[in-house]
Amino acid sequence: MTSDHGFNVKSDSSGRKSGLNVIGVLKSVGVEVDRLVTPFPLSDHHNSSLCSFLGVYLKEKSKIHDAMKILRVTPGIYSAIGEDDANRELELLSGVFGDIVLLGDQNTAFSLEDVSGGSEASWSHGGIEEQTVPFLIAAPRPCNLQVDFRQTMTRGKARNSNLWKFLLRGVAESQR
């Protein structure tokens, strides 16, 4: 049993919404956003316009360095990573998530509008703080994982995308 992702409340210490409008932050320093990319469609299930992972395409590629400089000191942003580093470190497909990839801190979600300060806390996912998900194997007797799968699990390298591999090949042949 597993879930497809972790989930955290996105609010400040008083319980008010904590959403960061990245377009507004960059516009205030003269950097124009071409488009934003999320790893999932923004819908009611995903709190309309909130997520903790955001890809940012800029209109002018020459401003990537300036944009990253301001984003890295903006409260609520855990990390602002250039495309090549993000693809390597986060195992992303090249050319899909923008010039800059942003990860919100545990209490902040990125929004397409100003939602900060609302009375209700928001929930969202997709960031570094939501990577941990439960992964339970129920079996009528003790379950022996194949050595390479056990190593993956104990090193903290398992991802929710590993589920099918674990289900199909992770348990010792004699226990299937």
CA dist., res. 8 & res. 59, Å (int) = 32
What confidence score (pLDDT) does residue 73 get? 96
Type of residue at 38: T
Q: Determine if the pTM surpasses 0.85.
A: no
Contacts of 97 (CB under 8 A, 6+ apart): 37, 39, 55, 83, 86, 87
Residue in 161, 3, 166, 4 with CA at minimum distance from that of residue 91 = 161
Q: Which CATH superfamily is domain 8-130 in?
A: Domain 2, Phosphonoacetate Hydrolase (3.30.1360.110)
Each domain of the chain, given as residue ranges in start order, spans: 8-130, 135-176
Q: Which of 111, 133, 130 is nearest to 122 (CA)?
A: 111
Give the closest residue to 13 by CA, choosing from 125, 121, 110, 105. Answer: 121
Segment 81-90 shows an average pLDDT of 91
Dihedrals phi, psi of 162, to nearest 5 degrees:
-80, -10
69 pLDDT exceeds 70? yes
Averaged confidence pLDDT in the chain: 76
CA distance 122 to 108: 9
Provide the total of helices (H) and of strands (E) in the chain, helices listed first. Answer: 5, 9
pLDDT score of 84 = 94
pLDDT value at residue 7: 60
The string of pLDDT tens digits covering residues 149-161 is 777 777 766 666 6
pLDDT at 44: 47
Per residue in 99-155, pLDDT (tens digit) is: 999 998 887 878 765 555 555 556 565 666 666 666 666 666 666 767 777 777 777
Tell me the chain's radius of gyration from C-alpha atoms.
Answer: 19
Q: Are 1 and 136 in contact (CB under 8 A)?
A: yes
pLDDT computed for residue 1 by the predictor: 46
Q: Is the pLDDT of residue 68 over 70?
A: yes
The CA distance from 20 to 52, in Å, is: 10
Which CA distances in Å does 15 have to 11, 72, 133?
5, 24, 24
Pick the residue with more confidence: 73 or 46?
73
Per the model's pLDDT, the better-predicted residue between 88 and 157 turns out to be 88
Would the pLDDT of 166 be above 70? yes
- Listed ranges 61-70, 88-97, 137-146; the one with the highest mean pLDDT: 61-70
25 or 6, greater pLDDT: 25
